[in-house]
Homo-oligomer: A and B are copies of this chain.
């Protein structure tokens, strides 16, 4: 079957299979054999394309982070109005699109959160994402709130988003996206109501 230019195809297959495997049995039992079987390829191919299992896991986390960033950027790119409220709602929406709020992506996120505590490569990635969310929120809040207040609001909204998301991931009934978004919107409005910039 070998054709030229398989690399990007295989990489996508394997990253997708990794998320599926984590969804099925968890990171601890997501063995290279299982992931390879899920992708319909041999186990050896993982080391060939990713240098090893760790490389595949890092690439998978990178993909998720990229998708999240793209989801936010897309919505911020086509805003009807350039108000802080509009930007902040777009950020919220992007975080709750998350390329899809699928069970497999949520489980993979959670697994990587736990794992990033002790793997420095993952920790770095996770940290970049955290700071991006916080500073995006902060710079928008700053357009209508003093610095200290903007920081407070950004921290609160970031916590609200992550908390809703975490509880959605853990809940057997899954995440109710509309309800979660409404709660985040409500919090946002209460923060903006402190200033007079309810756009």
Give residues in A with beta carbon < 8 Å to B.
25-29, 107, 110-111, 113-119, 123, 126-127, 130, 152, 155-156, 158-167, 169-172, 179-180, 183, 186-187, 190
Contacts and interface: CB of A to CB of B under 8 A. Distances in A.
Given A162-B163, A163-B161, A187 B156 contact: yes
A179 to B, nearest CB: 7
A-B complex: 7 closest residue pairs judged by Cβ atoms: A163-B163, A159-B163, A26-B118, A114-B114, A162-B163, A159-B164, A156-B183
Given A159-B164, A163-B161, A171 B28 contact: no
A155 B170 contact: no
A152 B179 CA distance: 9
Q: How many copies of this chain does one complex carry? A: 2
A35 to B, nearest CB: 15
Contacts of A190: 190
A183 B163 contact: no
B163 A179 contact: no
Given A158-B163, A158-B167, A190-B190, 8 more contacts: A28-B28, A113-B114, A117-B170, A126-B170, A159-B167, A162-B163, A162-B167, A163-B166
Contacts of A160: 156, 159-160, 163, 187
A176 to B, nearest CB: 9
Contact of A117 (B110, B116, B117, B155): B110
17 contacts: A26-B115, A26-B118, A27-B114, A113-B166, A114-B115, A126-B170, A127-B172, A155-B167, A158-B163, A159-B164, A159-B166, A159-B183, A160-B160, A160-B187, A163-B163, A163-B166, A187-B187
